[in-house]
Amino acid sequence: MLFKFAWQHSTSARDNTIKKFMETGGMPPEGVTMLSRYHNVDGSGGFAIAETDSSAALADWALDWNGLIDVTITPIMDDETISGALGKHFS
């Protein structure tokens, strides 16, 4: 399943967040595949697109950043998947 893993941090946490990212690369734990990652130009946050069947692994990734950033995890679908679901309702 695909997820949007979005984050935002306060200006007071910015330096610690950047330091941790530079030290660790911000990679997800085993069980989560990061497909892409994007950063806001103003440095306030960003988002990654990830794939996993493990909610525990996704929660582990979020908890790794607890106290530094606010994380929002949203299940998402690609065009092909949503088209199949919509086709059942609008055919």
State residue 9's pLDDT score: 87
For residue 29, what are the domain limits?
2-39+46-85
> Is 90 a member of any domain?
no
The total number of structural domains in the chain stands at 1
Nearest Cα residue to 51 out of 37, 36, 38, 33: 33
Retrieve residue 62's tokens: 């979020």
Q: What is the CATH number of the domain that holds 21?
A: 3.30.70
State residue 91's pLDDT score: 65
Number of Cβ atoms within 10 Å of the Cβ of 60: 15
Q: How far apart are CA 64 and CA 36, in angstroms?
A: 19
Please, what are the averages of pLDDT over each run of 10 residues along the chain (91 residues)?
94 90 95 97 93 97 94 94 81 65
Q: What is the pTM of this model?
A: 0.87
